Structure 1
Amino acid sequence: MEIRPTDTPSRELLLLADESEDSIADYLPRSRCYAAFVNGQIVGQYLLLHTRPFTAEVVNIAVTPACQRRGIATALLQHAVRIAREAGFRILEIGTGDSGTGQIALYERCGFVRCGLDVDYFRKHYPTPIFENGTECRHMVRLRMELIEK
């Protein structure tokens, strides 16, 4: 597997991670996409966005369903940490829906810690309710990682 920048992110993967076309249209032009390739095919990707001074955020990350649970998302997150650190960022953030227990566990295993909750984020900003694992996704769980070595 090779992870490299791409100017042509997979639309399918963007929508797998974020069901809102409007949301994607907002952050996509301001983000840098990095994709994981196997045999020339994109199997996963993430978007990295400079959000505030010294802070970047992984705003969209997804792996094709057929390739999930093979360590690709972990490799993408490790890549994001390295890229953000090399770019001089001090904090890397990520957010996900409160119903995404698998994603939250993955982010915590990769070293992110919970730092906040955007209450009713998905009800306020998405046109239709989102259900995951049989539960309505209402709140955005915010996680972060300090990138400065102590």
Structure 2
Amino acid sequence: MTSLQEDTIIRKLGPGERIPYDLLLLADPSIVAMSSYLSLAEIYVMEQDQQVIGTYVLLANDPDELEIKNIAVTPAYQGKGFGKILLQDAAQRARAKGFKRISIGTGNSSIAQLYLYQRQGFEITTVKKDYFMTHYQEPIYENGIQCKHLVMLVRKLN
């Protein structure tokens, strides 16, 4: 458990606890896509005054790389540094578990996320062309741009 302020913590979601789908759906609008990885992953929640305000999901891709499969902050708390704190917490946990890299994927239209991830030391490594066109039934639009391609970013952990 990571202590942030007296009233804010980040902790692993325990067995049987309610999965914060409302938040997870902010980052990935497909329950079908999420169901493919949630049972294999670790879910972390950020709580302030015992209310969940953020979450992220970690999944091991291989012995050297841990992926952030989903990360989200409640809209009322966005733009206040909580996403940065969640990314730092995920990297710290990955390092503590012995992983050499942490990765994250986002859409080509996710301008704020691409900015945040790169500011936190993630570098674009691959672009999966038309990923969202073939893996999602409904078109996704952000910032007036159609989300078509999956942009993968990786941060080395020292």
TM above 0.5: yes
Q: What are the equivalent positions in structure 2 for 1:7-86 lying under 5 Å apart?
A: 7=14, 8-86=18-96
> What amino acid sits opposite 1:72 in the alignment?
F
Report the counterpart of residue 108 of structure 2 in structure 1. Answer: 98
Alpha-carbon distance in 2 for matches of 1:139, 1:111: 21
Partners of 2:38 and 2:24 lie apart in 1 by 9
Q: Which amino acid aligns with 2:12?
A: P
How far apart are the structure 2 equivalents of 1:9 and 1:51? Answer: 22
> Where does structure 1 lack aligned partners over 5 or more consecutive residues?
none
Q: Distance in 2 between matches of 1:22 and 1:29?
A: 12
Q: Percent same amino acid at aligned positions?
A: 42
> In structure 1, how many angstroms separate the alpha carbons of the residues matched to 2:9 and 2:79?
17
The one-letter code of the counterpart of 1:108 is Q
Q: Return the offset for 1:32.
A: 0.3
What is the distance in 2 between the residues matched to 1:91 and 1:110?
13
- The letter of the residue matching 2:76 is A
Q: How many correspondences in the alignment?
A: 148
Question: Shift of the alpha carbon at 1:21?
Answer: 1.1
Question: How many Å separate the matches in 2 of 1:119 and 1:134?
Answer: 19
Match of 1:109 among 102, 115, 119: 119
Q: Aligned partners of 2:85, 2:45: CA distance in 1, in Å? A: 11
Higher mean C-alpha displacement, 93-102 vs 6-15: 6-15
TM-score (structure 2 length as normaliser): 0.91
Secondary structure, aligned partner of 2:36: helix
Structure 2 unpaired stretches of 5+: 1-7
Deviations for 1:5-41, whole angstroms, at most 9, x for unmatched residues?
1133311011111001111000111110111100000
Secondary structure at the counterpart of residue 137 of structure 2? coil
RMSD between aligned alpha carbons?
0.8
Give the Cα separation in 1 of the matches to 2:132 and 2:12.
29
- Three-state SS of the structure 1 residue aligned to 2:37 is helix
User: What is the CA distance between 1:145 and its match in structure 2?
Assistant: 0.6
**After the TM superposition, which residues 112-123 of structure 1 pair with which residues of structure 2 at under 5 Å, given as runs?**
112-123=122-133
